Amino acid sequence: MTQSYDILVVGAGMVGAALACGLAQTGYRVALIDRVDADRFDPGATPDLRVSALSVGSERYLRQLGAWAGIAAMRMTPYRRLAVWDATPHPMQRLLPQARTEFDASGLDTSHLGHIVENRVTQHALWQLAQDQDNITLLVGQGIASLQSQPDRATITLSDGSELHGQLVIGADGAQSRVRTLAGIGTTRDQYAQQALVASVRYRGPVTDITWQAFHPSGPRAFLPLHAAGSHPGESWASLVWYDHPDTLAGLKALAPEEFLATVQDAFPGDLPPLTHVDGRASFPIARQHANHYQQDRVVLVGDAAHTLNPLAGQGVNLGFQDADCLQQLLQECRRAGLDPATPHWLERYERLRRPANRRMMLAMDLFYHLFSNRIPPLHLARNLGLGLAQAMPFAKNRVARYAMGIEDTLPPLVQTLANRLPGFGPR
């Protein structure tokens, strides 16, 4: 069986599903393809282990698509404050107290900095939106066997042997992108020594409006507030993240629930409220990866298929939504001009716009990683002074916050200069 569309979107995760909806609203006939069905939302279920800190910029994009109301109808948690501090002990502790900086929505003239949302909630809302649009065909349970680009179209062969024709193929199928591999697009990749463990926990107390991250030499430890635990009055859910060596995390996952909670309570900062229950635990490797180019022939990459970065500030999906928004707008202009969506001018323009922006965020995250994941005394002094200075200079601090929120397009000059001086991270 052969079917023809304007655009074939491979990968129906959050970014791929959002882009498919946006393109369909522009008038394109879209096939949205994924190997697995989306997780269904059950309001009585415990939280998904996978959560994202959706920025104000991502919220704006999802509102424009019409998906935000669906997310809000399920569950999400706004956060209005973000705290960062260095928790590493040092010999000068009495003379140089622990430096801490806090970002507050009130200083940015906004009601919140972002929302913590379970990935399955965002994806489910986007799938509902996709299913309501006549010019999106959702094809689930099929992998990609082959991909060919011809002068006038691209052809994808699915694992069941059926063929799909389209003028453009969008690879939104994650860090191990099959589309990227079949298109022959290479990557540069650096694996970090750390991995990240995530855990869904309950704690005593109300839902808080702050998310925080404390830096240790082995990696940061973070707290992300979730919703109230309805069946447990007086308790709330949170997502915890612990970055460390893989052997350390393997030992943590092997602990009995009570031992795990006690270990976390002791190892995390005193800001962590009293934990009462752990629901799930999982760890995953982290890496910085960048595609050598974002487009080739009739293929273009978005989201993790194009780039992955250190998840210190949870910016991965936000960058993906920025990719989707940018590509959607350019393809809308292309359609208005009556041109083939794979016209090189438009795809090259997408790469010129998004590659530097993604790279800036990758550099910024690596800057934090290199500065904080060590015990070198001069760097320890420098980062404490830097955090203290950031707290004392709200204008510069708020510039960083507005960049991370997707409100501004450029980092403060000093941050960009420091990032560019990291080994191997000069402008490319």
pTM confidence score: 0.88
What CATH code is carried by the domain that includes residue 151?
A: 3.50.50.60
Residue at 213 is within a domain: no
* C-alpha dist (Å) from residue 244 to 178, 197, 261, 287: 29, 8, 17, 14
Is 7's pLDDT higher than 50? Answer: yes
For the chain, the average pLDDT equals 86
Contact assessment for residue 1 and residue 158, using Cβ atoms and an 8 Å cutoff = no
**In which band, very low, low, confident or very high, does the pLDDT at 281 lie, cut at 50, 70 and 90?**
very high
Number of structural domains found in the chain: 1
Higher pLDDT, 414 or 71: 71
Provide the H-helix boundaries in 149-280: 178-182, 246-254, 257-267
Is 405's pLDDT higher than 50? Answer: yes
Is 290's pLDDT higher than 90? Answer: yes
81-86 and 210-216 as β-strands: parallel, antiparallel, unpaired? parallel
Instruction: Say how many residues make up the chain.
Output: 428
Residue at 295 is within a domain: yes
Residue 94's contacts (CB-CB under 8 Å, 6 or more residues apart) are none
Name the strand (E) or helix (H) holding 272.
none
Range of the domain at 160: 2-64+118-189+289-379
Residue at 183 is within a domain: yes
**In which band, very low, low, confident or very high, does the pLDDT at 282 lie, cut at 50, 70 and 90?**
very high
Two tokens, residue 89: 């002990």
Highest-confidence range of 149-153, 183-187, 227-231, by mean pLDDT? 183-187
Residue at 155 is within a domain: yes
Write down the pLDDT at residue 424. Answer: 43
* C-alpha dist (Å) from residue 332 to 22, 24, 130, 341: 9, 10, 18, 9
Write down the pLDDT at residue 416. Answer: 54
- Tell me if residue 365 falls in helix, strand or coil: helix
Write down the pLDDT at residue 13. Answer: 96
* pLDDT tens for each residue of 25-71: 999 999 999 999 877 888 889 999 999 999 989 999 999 999 999 99
| For the chain, percent of residues with pLDDT exceeding 90 | 66
Residue at 156 is within a domain: yes
Residue 141's contacts (CB-CB under 8 Å, 6 or more residues apart) are 35, 36, 37
Please provide residue 317's backbone torsions phi and psi, each rounded to the nearest 5 degrees.
-70, -30
| For the chain, percent of residues with pLDDT exceeding 70 | 82
The number of angstroms, rounded, from the C-alpha of 40 to the middle of its chain's C-alpha atoms is 21
* pLDDT tens for each residue of 372-399: 665 555 555 455 545 544 444 444 445 5
Q: What is the mean pLDDT of residues 291-317?
A: 90
* Angstrom distance (rounded) from CA 160 to CA 2: 12
Contact assessment for residue 74 and residue 123, using Cβ atoms and an 8 Å cutoff = no
Write down the pLDDT at residue 393. Answer: 43
Residue at 22 is within a domain: yes
Provide the H-helix boundaries in 200-343: 246-254, 257-267, 316-336
Please provide residue 201's backbone torsions phi and psi, each rounded to the nearest 5 degrees.
-130, 155
Is 365's pLDDT higher than 70? Answer: yes
Residue at 325 is within a domain: yes
Reading across the β-sheet that carries 30-34, which strands appear in turn? Answer: 136-140, 30-34, 7-10, 168-171, 299-301, 295-296
Is 419's pLDDT higher than 80? Answer: no
Two tokens, residue 386: 């830097």
* Angstrom distance (rounded) from CA 416 to CA 280: 38
Residue at 340 is within a domain: yes
Cα angle for residues 129, 78, 194 (degrees, 5° grid) = 95
* Angstrom distance (rounded) from CA 224 to CA 242: 12
- Tell me if residue 291 falls in helix, strand or coil: strand
Is 423's pLDDT higher than 80? Answer: no
Q: What is the mean pLDDT of residues 212-233?
A: 90
Best CA proximity match to 237, nearest among 208, 215, 210, 265? 208
Provide the H-helix boundaries in 177-315: 178-182, 246-254, 257-267
Q: Which of 127-131, 215-219, 354-358 has the lowest mean pLDDT?
A: 215-219
- Tell me if residue 234 falls in helix, strand or coil: coil
Contact assessment for residue 300 and residue 344, using Cβ atoms and an 8 Å cutoff = no
* Angstrom distance (rounded) from CA 76 to CA 237: 11
Best CA proximity match to 347, nearest among 410, 296, 408, 419? 296
Best CA proximity match to 394, nearest among 104, 111, 99? 104
* pLDDT tens for each residue of 176-217: 999 999 999 999 998 888 899 999 999 999 999 999 988 887
Please provide residue 328's backbone torsions phi and psi, each rounded to the nearest 5 degrees.
-60, -45
**In which band, very low, low, confident or very high, does the pLDDT at 371 lie, cut at 50, 70 and 90?**
low
- Tell me if residue 182 falls in helix, strand or coil: helix
Contact assessment for residue 138 and residue 127, using Cβ atoms and an 8 Å cutoff = yes
Name the strand (E) or helix (H) holding 109.
none
Write down the pLDDT at residue 325. Answer: 97
Q: Which residue matches tokens 């799909």?
A: 164
Name the strand (E) or helix (H) holding 236.
strand 235-244
